[in-house]
Structure 1
Amino acid sequence: MNVLFVHNNFPAQYRFVARELAKDPANRVVAIGSSSAAAPANIRLIKYAMATGEAAHVHPFARRFELECRRAEEVLYSLSSLSGSGFTPDVIFAHPGWGETLPLRTMFPKAKIILYCEFFYGANGKDVGFDPEFPMTGLDGHVALHLKNASSLLALTECDLGIAPTAWQKSTFPKEFQAKIRVAHEGVDTEETAPDADAELYLPNGVKLTADDEVVTYVSRNLEPLRGFHIFMRALPNILRERPKAHVVIAGGDGTSYGARPPQGSTWKSLFFNEVRHDIDPNRVHFLGSVPREQYLRILQISSVHVYLTYPFVLSWSLLEAMSAGCLVVVSDTAPLRDAVAADRGVLVPFFDVQALSDSVIDALARPKSYQAKRKKARQHVVKHFDAMRVCLPELMKLVE
């Protein structure tokens, strides 16, 4: 079987299924991605480079789609080269979020296209308009948001199958397309993200933290409102005041992955840290920035309480990995978290309730033995439902077959 993956950040969500398909010598596996892509063994990777272009003359409503068309053009060149070399895919895995799917059906009309249905934008019940502190204003904003779905809609009409990682993420898509979409999470490596009572984390100032210390952890690709960074920071003064031996470890970049951007010349990290800096002990709040995988795992393994907050948006791998590592998770009571966390395996609090968040963390630090059952059940749940190799990959392979 000839298999093609199209994802600008390959392998991304395809890390397990691509590796599994490439193990079979009867399969030829090729991937197309941007300059940031990387390929596991036995997978041929074709990289494309995005040409920079002047978008000022393009109508604001069309700028995103114009960029997606530029990306589609680069993918088309890669597909033409691939076809010219004699490779015709039987199955194509693709993510519609960047326009890369636009030329697929034209180039390979007989291929089966499996679409990764991660999220469908909308102004109601999802991330946009959820937080009154950062409202979307004007009709223009709503029209532009609607147009962010253009590539996804075109891809949905042409795909043979859609795969959504959670039930709630599937529900974000238009009802007329949901019959095409199956729920099948890509999974996490529960052996790699396992508890380790002997784990040690060394901070930049030389301080060593272990599971015997009081450690509150927060991890996000970037520190931003969509992942509740502002709510978390506002809970710290009370937490640190009530728990004088606690340390807070925060991992994440200074950029913006999703949602609103900070005022020009600033970062969300600096804005919300400055908001509380006079009410906390900065020597006990440790910003580690973007960390390597090994250090990230140690952060989870030494955590006393792991806080994960999000608008109604895409479920992060980091939450499932925290649960797999045996963390006590204190999370926002928002979709799609309810697809993973329940009262017996974590603590859910209203997203905007800073007091409830701080009270929950303080109680967990004060009475750690009372929460051991939740930690254990959190890991059991992830092993049972989200283990990549034993649960999720077999489901995905059935869909491929």
Structure 2
Amino acid sequence: MKILLIHQNFPGQYKHLAPALVERGHQVVALTCKVKTPQTWKGVQILPYEIRGASTPGVHPWLADFETKILRATSCYRGALTLREQGFVPDVICAHHGWGESMFLKDVWPEPRLGLYCELYHLTATPFLNFDPEFPSKNPQGDVLRIRMKNLNNRLHEEIMDAGISPTRFQASTFPAHWQDRITVAHDGIDTETVRPNPAARLEVGDGKVLTREDEVITFINRNLEPYRGYHVFMRALPEILKRRPKAHVVLLGGDEVSYGAKPPKGQTWKQIFIDEVRGRIPTPHWKRVHFLGRVPYDRFLSMMQVSRAHVYLTYPFVLSWSLLEAMSAQCAILASGTAPVREVMEEDETGWMVDFFDRDALVERLCALLDDAATRERLGANARAFVQQNYDLRTVCLPQHLDWVTRLGTLEPRPVRD
């Protein structure tokens, strides 16, 4: 087959799928705004398209998000027209439609089957809106309307989607019922051969300090340190954790920006806001045992997981972080929030422990109990790794599922564009 991949940050979720499709003998082309010139990567022909246009000053705020997606969609459309003029007609198009790029591709090629990466449908009901009472909506009624507008991109894509794929049941369940019979649940996969325990792991944390498995290391990871992933809850527990665990080192990984949710007050970062809130309750000798690593290369992230004695993962009801499954694959003993995305992949006292997202006292108590119980940590970690190997392994489970999905996609009757 001729397969076209669309992702604004290619390869993104197609990191493993794209080369595997090439290995199966398919012609794979990727269209992306990430590159400026044509190039080849692992047998994939990567072609650029240029984003043209700019956001309209003063546009209604509920339209600003959709206007950005329209700009990407029309730009990608022009790139697709050029590709068609060169004689390329795909059999299958796979796209992460979250940025709008694939909105008009069936107007270029009506016959190819369109498969979408269905990451999330935005919902207004509890607990999706106003889950965290500390950050209530400033305009509850208006936010319902704003979020409904945010789904315009999803809705327009639903009309032309021949099939979808979603990494978790929780994420798939956010989409309306009339989508779900077209959505396959298959995770992107965890490379369990790479993400595995390493008794000899070492992690440099600055000032010449190196942590190993001999140290009591507590780890916490966000892409960006922010409330959606429970950073504020963890930081508020930190003074008591450091007091109760005088030998513990706490290692936090994550950037200073915002991936999800509201932005912090102008000129501030969520990271610094909560450091400032708790710093006065943490003596300087204790604070020296707290290590913010920022964003790090993957090998350093892996070392962090491998030296971890207890890993804390907190999240709103939202997209599940890869880092949780990777921590499980690394055989970490995990304490996580008992929110819906977590409950899908963890079982209490079988593959980890869970606490209420907002219960800071329970977080401290259960974390200390976990650190005091080596046998339980060993059992939970071993079970967690076995669970990921059985259900989320890249090569034996997830990649075959994705390849089968693409094959089935190619057999479907294409849905036409509707006026």
Q: TM-score, normalised by structure 2?
A: 0.93
Partner in structure 1 of residue 173 of structure 2: 171
Aligned to 1:30: 29
Which residue of structure 1 aligns with residue 54 of structure 2? Answer: 53
Q: Residues 195-214 of structure 1 correspond to what in structure 2 (within 5 A)?
A: 195-214=197-216
Which position in structure 1 is the counterpart of 2:74? 73
Equivalence for 1:291? 296
CA contact (8 A) 1:10 1:39 kept: no
The one-letter code of the counterpart of 2:344 is D
Q: Which residue of 2 aligns with 1:103?
A: 104
Query: Is contact 1:307–1:330 with CA below 8 Å preserved after alignment?
Result: yes
TM-aligned CA distance change 1:40 to 1:325, over 3 Å: farther
1:221 equivalent among 217, 220, 223: 223
Q: What aligned pairs does 1:157-306 form with structure 2 within 5 A after superposition?
A: 157-280=159-282, 281-306=286-311
- Higher mean Cα deviation, 259-268 or 5-14? 5-14
SS of the residue aligned with 1:218? Answer: strand
Q: Which of 379, 395, 398 pairs up with 1:373?
A: 379
Residue in structure 1 matched with residue 345 of structure 2 by the alignment: 340
Matched residues in 1 for 2:204 and 2:53: separation?
Answer: 41
Cα displacement string for residues 74-117 of structure 1 (whole angstroms, at most 9, x for unaligned residues): 10121111111111111111112111121111111111111111
* Mapped partners of 2:358, 2:214: distance in 1: 30
Distance 1:296 1:34 in 2: 28
CA distance in 2, matches of 1:221, 1:370: 28
Indicate the SS of the match to 1:264: coil
1:39, distance to aligned residue in structure 2 (A): 6.6
1:357 alignment partner AA: L
2:319 to 311, 314, 324: 314
**What's 1:329 paired with?**
334
Q: Specify whether residues 330 and 101 from structure 1 end up closer, same or farther in structure 2 by C-alpha distance, changes over 3 A only.
A: same
For residues 256 and 51 of structure 1, the distance between their equivalents in structure 2, rounded to whole angstroms, comes to 25
Deviates more, 1:39-48 or 1:296-305: 39-48
The residue that corresponds to 2:43 in the other structure is 42
Structure 1, unmatched stretches of 5+, are none
Q: CA deviation at 1:140?
A: 2.2
Deviation at 1:36, TM superposition (A): 6.6
Q: Which amino acid aligns with 2:274?
A: F
The residue type equivalent to 1:119 in the other structure is: L
RMSD over aligned CA atoms reads: 1.4
Counterpart for residue 401 of structure 2: 395
- Deviations along 1:102-158, one digit per CA (max 9) or x if unpaired, are 111111111111111110101113443100111123222221111111111111121
**CA 60–39 in structure 1, closer or farther in 2 if over 3 Å, else same:** farther
Q: What CA distance in whole angstroms lies between the structure 1 residues aligned with 2:5 and 2:259? A: 23
Q: Which moved more, 1:306-315 or 1:38-47?
A: 38-47
Amino acid at match of 1:301: Q
Q: Structure 1 residues 298, 364: CA separation in 2 closer, same or farther (over 3 Å shift)?
A: same
SS of the counterpart of 2:115? Answer: strand
Mean CA deviation greater in 84-93 or 35-44: 35-44
TM normalised by structure 1 equals 0.97
Query: Following the alignment from structure 2 to structure 1, what is the Cα–Cα distance between the partners of residues 55 and 4?
Result: 31
Deviation at 1:55, TM superposition (A): 2.4
Deviation for aligned residue 1:54? 4.0
2:114 is paired with a residue whose SS is strand
Indicate conservation of the 8 Å contact 1:216/1:303, yes or no. yes
Residue range with higher mean Cα deviation, 29-38 or 265-274 = 29-38
Q: Is 1:120 matched with 2:130?
A: no
Cα distance in 1 for residues equivalent to 2:151 and 2:264: 24
Moved over 6 A (4+): 36-39
Q: Do the aligned residues in 2 keep the contact of 1:330 with 1:361 (CA within 8 Å)?
A: yes
Question: Between the two proteins, what is the percent identity of the paired residues?
Answer: 43
Deviation per CA, 1:36-86: give whole Å up to 9, x if none.
799731111122343462422322221111111101111012111111111
Whether the 8 Å CA contact 1:346–1:378 is kept in 2: the answer is yes
Q: CA deviation at 1:368?
A: 2.1
Q: Are the equivalent residues in 1 in contact too, given 2:55–2:64 (CA < 8 A)?
A: no
Q: Is the Cα–Cα contact under 8 Å of residues 226 and 271 in structure 2 kept in the other structure?
A: yes
What secondary structure sits across from 2:340 in the alignment? coil
**Relative to 1, partners in 2 of residues 1:40 and 1:383: Cα closer, same or farther, differing over 3 Å?**
farther
Alignment equivalent of 2:145, drawn from 136, 143, 146: 143
1:248-289 per-residue CA deviation (whole Å, 9 max, x = no partner) reads 000100000000110001000000111111222220110010
Q: Could you tell me whether the CA contact under 8 Å between 1:193 and 1:297 is conserved in 2?
A: yes
* 1:346 CA displacement: 0.4
* Aligned residue in 1 for 2:156: 154
Residues paired across the two proteins, number:
400
Aligned partner of 1:18 in structure 2 is 18
